[in-house]
């Protein structure tokens, strides 16, 4: 069957196209063209924007579920929640934990990938640790943070090859260079929760590392050593031209002015929008839990963000992908095509996903339709129209 999406504004290649239709055959985009082609079904987009599905490469949960709650069901449920908000591809993320917990999480993600009914694409898992700086723990459990253990990471990488797609680490820790060089051919390494100085970041950058985990959150900035200033991770990210950065554009973790500064320095091509959402995304204000429902960190949802119970710091985001795009367009003055690029093309490139992230011939048919206020109107995953 050939599906045609017509009468929409196609967002493709970072540009808007007002006179093109999208043709889908099975689970692939057959053509994006002004020409009329034979088709079996027509979706009238009614002037809505027609974009590639959003790709969230850093997310912990949503809809009341955390990806670490145990088993495939919470993973599929949280992913399905985010699909309602335009996310068609996710990387379930786990914070620093013990080896057995990490392996159980990876096994659960593997199971969810197998059992997935294509409500959303589960691309693979993201480990946010445990090889992180104790000085930059953020809301993560400091007791799990440690330097890389060669036997441990080699076993995990080997046993879950094809499942583990990304690993956040602190490059200043002893053994981090060896760790990164071991994983880099099969797993995307990302600098985060780090107290590194420029030389530490530049070392792994020279070895191929091209991603920073949630810029400004849990990372070093300019410090002094014996009176001499040294760049931290933040400044290193700005200075290294090809280094992409994640930003949580919920306007809580980063104020609007700071996001504008990041956008001015890094440019549209080097920013990936992420939710970094926890289970409280889509849930009412009140008590919640960061991490596993049985033994996670108690927190409270209020003011559009998760906070520690004592309100001394944030405990995670409750953002959704459509919210991020809406904030960029409505609050930051970024054009729609650029905002979409930061949550489609850019994360796909950062993760090396070749067949997703844009509306082009031969790409996977992951598509969202939304109005000028970025309200999601229709979601198509691998050519299948989803009903919510």
Give the pLDDT score at 119: 79
CB 227 within 8 A of CB 201: no
Residue 150 three-state SS: helix
Strand order across the 314-316 sheet: 286-290, 297-302, 305-308, 314-316
Predicted local confidence at residue 118, as pLDDT: 67
Q: Is 381 helix (H, G, I), strand (E, B) or coil?
A: strand
* pLDDT tens track, the chain, 388 positions: 999 999 999 999 999 999 999 999 999 999 999 999 999 999 999 999 999 999 999 999 999 999 999 999 999 999 999 999 999 999 999 999 999 999 999 999 999 999 987 679 999 999 999 999 999 999 999 999 999 999 999 999 999 999 999 999 999 999 999 999 999 999 999 999 999 999 999 999 999 999 999 999 999 999 998 999 999 999 999 999 999 999 999 999 999 999 999 999 999 999 999 999 999 999 999 999 999 999 999 999 999 999 999 999 999 999 999 999 999 999 999 999 999 999 999 999 999 999 999 999 999 999 999 999 999 999 999 999 987 6
DSSP character at residue 65: E
Q: Which residues pair with residue 122 across a beta bridge?
A: 90
Every domain of the chain and the residues it spans? 2-50+372-386, 54-354
**CA–centroid distance for 2 within its chain:** 31
Q: Which fold has domain 2-50+372-386?
A: Urease, subunit C; domain 1 (2.30.40)
Supply the pLDDT for residue 116: 86
Three-state secondary structure call for residue 260: helix
Superfamily of domain 54-354: Metal-dependent hydrolases (3.20.20.140)
Q: For 1-37, give the DSSP string.
A: -EEEEESSEEEETTEEESS-EEEEETTEEEEEESS--
Any residues with CB less than 8 A from the CB of 338 and at least 6 apart, and which?
A: 14, 268, 328
What is the reported pTM? 0.97
DSSP secondary structure, 92-137, as one string: EEEES--HHHHHHHHHHHHHHHHH--SSSEE--EEEE-SS--GGG-
- The three-class DSSP label of residue 80 is helix
Q: What is the pLDDT of residue 171?
A: 98
């Amino acid at each position: 069957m050939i599906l045609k999406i017509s009468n929409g504004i196609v967002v493709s290649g970072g540009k808007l196209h007002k006179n093109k239709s999208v043709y889908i055959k099975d689970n692939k985009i057959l053509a994006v063209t002004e020409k009329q082609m034979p088709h079996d079904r027509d979706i009238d987009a009614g002037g809505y924007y027609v974009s590639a599905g959003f790709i969230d490469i850093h997310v912990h949960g949503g809809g009341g579920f955390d990806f670490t709650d145990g088993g495939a069901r919470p993973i599929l449920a949280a992913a399905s929640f985010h699909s309602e908000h335009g996310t068609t591809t996710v990387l379930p993320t786990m914070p620093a934990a013990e080896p057995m917990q990490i392996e159980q999480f990876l096994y659960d993600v593997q199971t969810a990938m197998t059992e997935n009914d294509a409500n959303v694409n589960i691309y693979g898992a993201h480990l946010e640790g445990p090889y992180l700086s104790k000085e930059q723990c953020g809301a993560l459990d400091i007791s799990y943070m440690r330097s890389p253990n060669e036997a441990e990471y080699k076993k995990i990488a080997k046993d879950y090859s094809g499942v583990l797609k990304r690993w956040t680490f602190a490059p200043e820790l002893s053994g981090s260079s060896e760790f990164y060089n071991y994983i880099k051919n099969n797993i995307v390494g990302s600098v985060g929760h780090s107290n590194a100085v420029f030389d530490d970041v530049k070392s792994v950058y020279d070895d191929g590392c091209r991603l920073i985990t949630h810029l400004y959150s849990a990372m070093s900035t300019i410090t002094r050593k014996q009176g001499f200033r040294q760049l931290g991770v933040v400044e290193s990210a700005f200075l290294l031209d090809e280094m992409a950065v994640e930003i949580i554009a919920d306007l809580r973790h980063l104020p609007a002015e700071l996001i504008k500064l990041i956008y001015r320095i890094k440019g549209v091509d080097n920013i990936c929008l992420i939710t970094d959402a926890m289970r409280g995304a889509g849930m009412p204000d009140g008590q919640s839990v960061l991490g596993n429902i049985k033994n996670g960190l108690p927190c409270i949802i209020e003011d559009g963000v998760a906070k520690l119970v004592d309100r001394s710091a944030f405990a995670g985001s409750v953002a959704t992908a459509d919210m991020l795009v809406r904030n960029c367009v409505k609050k930051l003055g970024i054009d729609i095509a650029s905002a979409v690029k930061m949550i489609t093309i850019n994360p796909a490139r950062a993760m090396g996903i070749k067949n997703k992230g844009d509306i082009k011939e031969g790409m996977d048919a992951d598509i969202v339709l939304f109005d000028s206020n970025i309200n999601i109107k229709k979601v198509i995953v691998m050519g299948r129209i989803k009903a919510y």
